[in-house]
Amino acid sequence: MKTFNYFRLIIRTFWAAFATLILASCGGGGGGSGSVSSLGGLLPIETETCYVTTPEPNAELAAQLLAPTDSGKTRSLSWNVKYLAPEGSVKTLWLGFGGVTQSETVALEFAKNRPTPVLVYLAVDGHEDILPAGAIYPVNKSGSTLTASWLNGTSAQVLFDILTKTDQPQKDAQHLCNYFNWQKLQEEFAKRVDEPWLVDREAIAAKICTGKFSVTVLKEEKAYEDVFQSDTLEWVCPAYGDAKPVFTGELSHFPLSKKIYLSSRGFVIIEKKSTSKNGLVITELAE
């Protein structure tokens, strides 16, 4: 009987330890500091250098951004590249904007075969207000090149947020992400989503963290068709680098919720009201 109780105690101890490990994923159980410098436990690290290339923004959008605003102000464009270094710290590099069709390239070092996000922001006057393009190493690697795309910016940002913004040690988040199928996520996203800027990225990250991810979360916010009319704005465009500007008098789709748009006057916030006229309301200018 003593032998039986001894083995039962061992089994209980094992399952208690296992449950603690499971609850640690993405904040379940409330532990962890969320530090982005806590990958020391994953050392030693073998690294690999890849050359990250920037995407092409929508040509019409870039032309409007480079043109003087209604007030005569001239904007400056640049690329801000944000990624996780092998030891887990967030790094940001600045690259000049050479033109719509001219890609910029930068060499980055990655922890070999560890899923790592790269976010590429088209910065306007230095501000990262446009949703980023992106890539995931090594999923999007071809040879020694890692090409960022606007479509893959969503999956890259989801991975980035899980690794840097969850209430847990980063090494635990990285362990979770190492076993998630990021390539499959990108494939399903490409099949199901036409307007990435209308997708709830936080909801996708939450589902991955809780182990309840389903492709049903890959859906766009409901949008309604309406004509854009304004006495003060010549054009508006979703804050997404591959989006096309909508000019006054043109028909387009707008979500019900408040969204930040680029415009001929700078950043604005537009909300579509469910009124009898289904009018668009510019609620405020964004600083």
Q: What is the pLDDT of residues 123-171, one digit of tens each?
A: 999 889 899 999 999 999 999 999 999 999 999 999 999 999 877 778 8
Which pLDDT value is given to residue 63? 92
Which pLDDT value is given to residue 25? 43
pTM of the model: 0.82
Q: Is 256 helix (H, G, I), strand (E, B) or coil?
A: coil
C-alpha 182/C-alpha 68 separation (Å) is 40
Which pLDDT value is given to residue 282? 78
Which pLDDT value is given to residue 132? 97
Q: What is the pLDDT of residues 49-59, one digit of tens each?
A: 999 999 999 99
C-alpha 127/C-alpha 279 separation (Å) is 30
Tell me which residue of 240, 243, 238, 286 sits closest to 265, measured CA to CA: 286
CA distance between the termini of the chain: 74
Which pLDDT value is given to residue 37? 42
CA dihedral for 25, 27, 33, 37, sign (positive or negative): positive
Residue type, 158: V
Per the CB < 8 A criterion, the answer to whether 147 and 136 are in contact is no
C-alpha 88/C-alpha 67 separation (Å) is 39
Q: How confident is the prediction along the chain (287 residues), in pLDDT tens digits per residue?
A: 444 344 344 334 433 333 333 334 454 433 333 334 445 555 558 999 999 999 999 999 999 999 887 777 888 999 999 999 999 999 999 999 988 888 899 999 999 999 999 999 999 998 898 999 999 999 999 999 999 999 999 999 999 999 998 777 788 889 889 999 999 999 999 999 999 999 999 999 999 998 899 999 999 998 888 889 888 899 999 999 999 999 999 999 999 888 989 998 888 999 887 664 657 887 766 45
- E strands, the chain, in order: 47-53, 77-84, 90-96, 105-111, 116-124, 133-137, 141-142, 145-147, 223-227, 235-238, 246-247, 251-255, 259-263, 266-272, 280-285
